[in-house]
Amino acid sequence: MRNSFKQLAGKYKLLKQGWSPQQNLFYGFLTYIFVGFVLLSLPFMQKESASFLDHLFISTSAVSTTGLVTISIFDTYNFFGQFIIMTLIQLGGIGYLSFTTFMLLSTTRKMTFWHKKILSTEFTLPKTIKINDFLKSVILFTLIMETLGAILFFIAFKMDGMPTTEALWSSVFHSVSTFCTAGFSLYNDSFMGYIDNGFINAIISMLAICGSLGFIVITDFGMVIRNKAHKISFTTKIILYGFVTLLTIGTAFFYFAEPTIAQLEDSRFLAAFFQAMTAMTTVGFNTVDFGLFSQAMILICVFLMYVGASPSGTAGGIKITTLTAVFSIMKSRLRGNKQITFLGRVIPYERLYIATSAFIFYTLLIFIGTFLITITHVSELKDILFEVASALGTVGISRGITGDLTVFGKWVIIILMFIGRLGVLTFGLAIWSKTITEEEREVLKEDIAV
Amino acid sequence: MRNSFKQLAGKYKLLKQGWSPQQNLFYGFLTYIFVGFVLLSLPFMQKESASFLDHLFISTSAVSTTGLVTISIFDTYNFFGQFIIMTLIQLGGIGYLSFTTFMLLSTTRKMTFWHKKILSTEFTLPKTIKINDFLKSVILFTLIMETLGAILFFIAFKMDGMPTTEALWSSVFHSVSTFCTAGFSLYNDSFMGYIDNGFINAIISMLAICGSLGFIVITDFGMVIRNKAHKISFTTKIILYGFVTLLTIGTAFFYFAEPTIAQLEDSRFLAAFFQAMTAMTTVGFNTVDFGLFSQAMILICVFLMYVGASPSGTAGGIKITTLTAVFSIMKSRLRGNKQITFLGRVIPYERLYIATSAFIFYTLLIFIGTFLITITHVSELKDILFEVASALGTVGISRGITGDLTVFGKWVIIILMFIGRLGVLTFGLAIWSKTITEEEREVLKEDIAV
Ligand SMILES: [K+]
Ligand SMILES: [K+]
């Protein structure tokens, strides 16, 4: 195990000669997408043919773990094609995570060197977590959760009367798809057929929440279990606090304010919870047709997708930590305080700078994306806004316009999904940042050789 | 003249015993609106009756210089009612300006005391401008511009064959309404009847641009004319630079991308320029029906209304200076620079803090406003978003839904217009800020007694 980590680290070291961590991520994901696109375009992966653009769309959607589809996965791809998609999801999920981990750590260490002040707070990656522990957690936890998920899915599908072969494949595929919050489904109506199946609702929620909360939270909890003296980090507290609050508010809105869900009687609460959970964890499955929702509810969904869940998880959005920083700025500004605090802690300037940048970038991207699609595509503004927020947040729910998008519109969504998975700031830095100097590269090299 | 200034200053001093400048502004505007509402509700001001809520709506719209109307001004109010509306516009415009001036100066001076660093840059109010000069400019310039505007309007209306009595009143009313960027019109179709009248288009554009650029710019230019050694301030440069850029972009979009305007042949350029100008200066007249515009164009309008023009002018929006700061943050973030610069100058931290707060507040308010209206009112999202951006930006253009709003919807727009005129940060500070201490009040008193 330790050996493969070293190989991975070596590979990463090789890759980034002359590249910044952000550029590494950028080209890494681009390679995944391109390889996926080529494989999916091969005729023996398909049940029926589709355009090259559609294959590219599906490949990007899988690697970015978004789940938006212009064509039906089940009708277009045979078992091999579906297996490729699952692999892309897994690479996008875990590959993203290991990349993120490397980058996060190298960045943090770079910061140690350059700005010792930042590391003095626990606002980013907690000091107490080491790179080896972190990577071990990532891989171990993914394996455990996906195996457990597949077993539970298999039991649930069998209980529902599904044939064994179909249930076997379906349970593995959906377990990976859920834990990586990809939301790809083999069913053309997502999980609408299982709206009142509490067991399946529970499996999806558990997997998606664990996947979206991310490994900072998980590692932190793992350390508490192993070592009683270890205290839960400030980051983890903020993430949990924000997640529970938003999920509660979201569920309440769906329960009380959405007529489509209000008429459901028995499964009303389950449906309300599931729809809020799906938007927030960005898993993107649905048990109710989002095309039926009222305009007010669409805006609530856009907000939930806009925020997403935790940094270092598989979810998109501006992240709860950014939202927290933004709220703290507002509060401090209104109170006339000079220092910006949250839960009694001072948030450092650099952290606020990153948060506000992310907020501004994200907002502008949603606006520009929506604008670009309205130019060539005729749909109502609410549907386009929903689609754009879903793509940039890598959520994958839709009001049913994905398949009808123009060629230009599909390209816009492809680029948004890519940016969404990379993270708006990482994307920006990969494209526009100055090339790093020799000196900086030396520092980076030292960082990796832990 | 000097005497009336002293009276004004004395009145202000009296008012703010125990109040922060923001609270003064808040209650000042509320008083204007309430008095206006009572007067407009009197039957002898009216040609035909309207609900109390509609009178409140009109009073708020006039004081906030927005120009959104739920009822026809011409059909509802007689000459006396129309005169009240004009007075409210003037008070809202000039009253707002003198208040703003006082507040701006006292705040800046408070900053001198507390943060000497901030004043060392010219990013807010230029050091070289003194309170007396500034106030003199405000009143003198308003008088000159509105008289000039009225004379020109009179000539234009007479040339168009309007009877003298009607032309007399119409020219005075529209001159005040334009210079204060209120956009109230005595014609139910705004200026659509004058779409190809170059003279009237020019008068409106000149008055609205002068009004919206604001008195920092005007005073600055006045000083350059009087004293050749005086250099144009950095603030003025930024405002002019941003204004010209945005107006050009806006005009180009209307000219090339809007089918309704493309079919106009002769008056195509004039119409494109006028519509961009009306959204940006927030005057809010129109010569083309905004209800006919394409979805992409609506988003362009929303963006222009979102930005608005200059601080200390009569325009709403986040202001060009805020947009500039936001862009500088993005650029510096992407380039990996530590210091945030614009046109080669370092922008101080406090200025960035204010700009990002304004951006975040404004964005959230547009989102919340749109959400609240969708709850009770059935219109397309694009129309509601347009209405909300128009109200918060105190622009006053509409896609025709104002009159059909529910009671709740009207209240939302009333509050948005109020916040829009007060400024989002001032509003927030007036509501939530701590009451000022004895010590701070002493400092403030000294500030006013220049
Ligand atoms: K997803
Ligand atoms: K206006």
Which of B296, B333, B429 shows the shortest C-beta gap to A375? B296
pLDDT confidence bin for B35, thresholds 50/70/90: very high
Where are the alpha helices (H) located in A281-348, listed in sequence order? 295-307, 320-335
- B310 alpha carbon – ligand 2 mean position (Å): 14
Residue B378, by phi and psi: left (phi above 0), alpha (psi -120 to 50) or beta? Answer: beta
CA dist B30 and B21 (Å) reads 14
pLDDT at A449: 24
What is the token pair recorded at B242?
């941003």
pLDDT single digits (tens) A348-380: 776 777 778 888 888 999 999 999 999 887 788
For residue A375, the chain B residue with the least C-alpha distance is B296
Which of B303, B336, B363 shows the shortest C-beta gap to A433? B336
Rg of chain A in Å (alpha carbons): 21
Give residues with Cβ within 8 angstroms of B224, minimum separation 6.
B230, B231, B232
pLDDT confidence bin for B326, thresholds 50/70/90: confident
Is A397 in contact with A390 (CB distance < 8 Å)?
yes
- A418 alpha carbon – ligand 1 mean position (Å): 12
Which of B329, B361, B371 shows the shortest C-beta gap to A330? B361
pLDDT confidence bin for A347, thresholds 50/70/90: confident
Please provide the average confidence, as pLDDT, over all residues in chain B: 78
Residue B46 lies in a domain: yes
Provide, as residue numbers in chain B, all residues whose Cβ is less than 8 Å from the Cβ of A370. 299
CB atoms B335 and A433 under 8 Å: yes
CB atoms B335 and A299 under 8 Å: no
CA dist B426 and B423 (Å) reads 5
Residue B4 lies in a domain: no
What is the rounded average pLDDT of the residues B125-139? 59
Is A398 in contact with A68 (CB distance < 8 Å)?
yes
What is the token pair recorded at A46?
């398909």
Is B145 in contact with B172 (CB distance < 8 Å)?
no
Mutate to test the interface with A, among B256, B294, B356 (most CBs of A within 10 A): B356
Which of B330, B353, B432 shows the shortest C-beta gap to A357? B330
pLDDT confidence bin for B252, thresholds 50/70/90: very high
CA dist A99 and B447 (Å) reads 56
CA dist B339 and B333 (Å) reads 9
Q: Is the pLDDT assigned to residue B110 strictly greater than 90?
A: no
Which of A294, A336, A360 shows the shortest C-beta gap to B329? A360
- Of A249-253, A430-434, B251-255, the one with minimum mean pLDDT is A430-434
pLDDT at A171: 93
Q: Which residue has the tokens 């347009």?
A: B386
What is the rounded average pLDDT of the residues A390-397? 90
Count of residues in chain A: 450
Give residues with Cβ within 8 angstroms of B385, minimum separation 6.
A381, B298, B302, B366, B370
What is the rounded average pLDDT of the residues B67-86? 92
CA angle B70, B73, B75 (to 5 degrees): 105
pLDDT single digits (tens) A231-244: 777 778 888 888 89
Provide, as residue numbers in chain A, all residues whose Cβ is less than 8 Å from the Cβ of B409. none
Residue B317 lies in a domain: yes
Q: Is the pLDDT assigned to residue B14 strictly greater than 60?
A: no
Q: How far is CA B448 from CA B35, B272, B304, in A?
A: 27, 45, 36
Q: Which residue has the tokens 């209104």?
A: A334
Q: Is the pLDDT assigned to residue B9 strictly greater than 80?
A: no
Say which ligand is closest to the CA of A395.
Answer: 1
Residue A7 lies in a domain: no
For residue B430, the chain A residue with the least C-alpha distance is A334
- Run of H or E residues at B373: helix B349-376
Say which ligand is closest to the CA of A89.
Answer: 1
CA dist A43 and A46 (Å) reads 5
- B73 alpha carbon – ligand 2 mean position (Å): 15
The three-class DSSP label of residue A174 is helix
CA dist B239 and B243 (Å) reads 6
Q: Which residue has the tokens 């997708």?
A: A305
CB atoms B334 and A428 under 8 Å: yes
pLDDT at B243: 87
Q: Is the pLDDT assigned to residue A251 strictly greater than 50?
A: yes
Domain count, chain B: 1
DSSP, res A99: H
pLDDT at B98: 57
Provide, as residue numbers in chain A, all residues whose Cβ is less than 8 Å from the Cβ of B253. none
CA angle B238, B242, B248 (to 5 degrees): 150
Residue B10 lies in a domain: no
The percentage of chain B sitting over the pLDDT mark of 90, rounded to a whole number, equals: 27
Please provide the average confidence, as pLDDT, over all residues in chain A: 78
Residue A8 lies in a domain: no
- B304 alpha carbon – ligand 2 mean position (Å): 13
pLDDT single digits (tens) B351-361: 777 778 888 88
pLDDT at B387: 93
Q: Is the pLDDT assigned to residue B318 strictly greater than 90?
A: no
Which of B299, B334, B357 shows the shortest C-beta gap to A374? B299
CA dist A349 and A359 (Å) reads 15
Phi, psi of B120 (to 5 degrees): -70, -15
Dihedral angle computed from the Cα positions of residues A407, A413, A414 and A417, in that order, rounded to the nearest 10 degrees: -170
Mean pLDDT comparison of A143-157, A278-292, B134-148, highest-scoring range: A143-157
Give residues with Cβ within 8 angstroms of B225, minimum separation 6.
none
Q: Which domain holds residue A176?
A: 21-448
The three-class DSSP label of residue A334 is helix
pLDDT at B212: 84
Among A159, A355, A384, which residue's Cα sits nearest to residue A242? Answer: A355
Higher-pLDDT residue of A221, B204: B204
Say which ligand is closest to the CA of B395.
Answer: 2
Give residues with Cβ within 8 angstroms of A26, minimum separation 6.
A422, A426, A427, A430, A431
pLDDT confidence bin for B224, thresholds 50/70/90: confident
pLDDT at A31: 87
pLDDT confidence bin for B26, thresholds 50/70/90: confident
CA dist B159 and B171 (Å) reads 13
Mutate to test the interface with A, among B333, B367, B376, B387 (most CBs of A within 10 A): B333
What is the token pair recorded at B323?
């947009």
Which of A330, A357, A425 shows the shortest C-beta gap to B357? A330
10 Å CB burial of residue A169 (0-12, 13-18, 19+) is: middle
What is the number of other CB atoms lying within 10 angstroms of the CB of residue A52? 10
> ipTM score here?
0.81
Q: Which residue has the tokens 């703290």?
A: A328
pLDDT confidence bin for B57, thresholds 50/70/90: very high
Nearest Cα of chain A lies from the Cα of B334 at a distance, in angstroms, of 5
Please tell me if residue B269 touches chain A, with a CB cutoff of 8 Å. Answer: no
Which of B294, B354, B433 shows the shortest C-beta gap to A334? B433
CA dist A150 and A160 (Å) reads 15
Nearest Cα of chain B lies from the Cα of A240 at a distance, in angstroms, of 23
pLDDT confidence bin for B4, thresholds 50/70/90: low
CB atoms B356 and A356 under 8 Å: yes
pLDDT single digits (tens) B378-414: 788 999 999 999 999 889 888 888 888 999 999 999 9
Provide, as residue numbers in chain B, all residues whose Cβ is less than 8 Å from the Cβ of A335. 432-434
pLDDT at B81: 93
- A303 alpha carbon – ligand 2 mean position (Å): 29
- Of A326-340, B36-50, B300-314, the one with minimum mean pLDDT is A326-340
Please tell me if residue A381 touches chain B, with a CB cutoff of 8 Å. Answer: yes
pLDDT at B386: 93
Please tell me if residue A249 touches chain B, with a CB cutoff of 8 Å. Answer: no
Q: Hey, which residues 311-350 in chain B have their CB within 8 Å of chain A?
A: 326, 329-330, 333-336, 349
pLDDT at B125: 44
- Of A10-14, A37-41, A285-289, the one with minimum mean pLDDT is A10-14
Q: Is the pLDDT assigned to residue B437 strictly greater than 80?
A: no
What is the rounded average pLDDT of the residues B332-354? 71
Residue B188 lies in a domain: yes
Count of residues in chain B: 450
Q: How far is CA A433 from CA A104, A159, B13, B120, B329, in A?
A: 17, 54, 51, 30, 14
Dihedral angle computed from the Cα positions of residues B51, B55, B57 and B58, in that order, rounded to the nearest 10 degrees: 140
Q: In B233-324, at which residue ranges do the beta strands (DSSP E only) sit?
A: none
pLDDT at A368: 93
Pairs from B129-135 (Cβ < 8 Å, separation ≥ 24): B129/B216, B129/B219, B129/B220, B129/B223, B130/B450, B131/B101, B131/B102, B131/B105, B131/B450, B132/B2, B132/B5, B132/B450, B133/B219, B133/B223, B134/B101, B134/B105, B134/B215, B134/B219, B135/B5, B135/B8, B135/B98, B135/B101
Is A307 in contact with A418 (CB distance < 8 Å)?
no
Give residues with Cβ within 8 angstroms of A35, minimum separation 6.
none
CB atoms B434 and A335 under 8 Å: yes
The percentage of chain B sitting over the pLDDT mark of 70, rounded to a whole number, equals: 76
What is the rounded average pLDDT of the residues B317-331? 79
- Of A58-67, A157-166, A321-330, the one with minimum mean pLDDT is A321-330
pLDDT single digits (tens) A91-144: 888 765 555 555 555 555 443 333 232 222 222 344 555 555 666 667 778 889
Nearest Cα of chain B lies from the Cα of A153 at a distance, in angstroms, of 38
Residue B13 lies in a domain: no
Instruction: Give per-residue burial for B388-401: e unless 16+ CB within 10 Å, then b.
Output: bbbbbbbbbbbbeb
Provide, as residue numbers in chain B, all residues whose Cβ is less than 8 Å from the Cβ of A361. 330
CB atoms A428 and B333 under 8 Å: yes
Q: Is the pLDDT assigned to residue B332 strictly greater than 90?
A: no
Q: Is the pLDDT assigned to residue B193 strictly greater than 60?
A: yes
Q: Hey, which residues 382-401 in chain B have their CB within 8 Å of chain A?
A: 382, 385
Provide, as residue numbers in chain B, all residues whose Cβ is less than 8 Å from the Cβ of A329. 353, 356-357, 360
pLDDT single digits (tens) A45-97: 888 888 999 999 999 999 988 989 999 888 999 999 999 999 999 888 876 55
Please tell me if residue A363 touches chain B, with a CB cutoff of 8 Å. Answer: yes
pLDDT at B272: 92
N-term to C-term CA, chain A: 16
DSSP string covering A102-165: HHHHHHHHHHHHH-HHHHTSSSSS-TT--HHHHHHHHHHHHHHHHHHHHHHHHHHHHHTT--HH
pLDDT confidence bin for A318, thresholds 50/70/90: confident
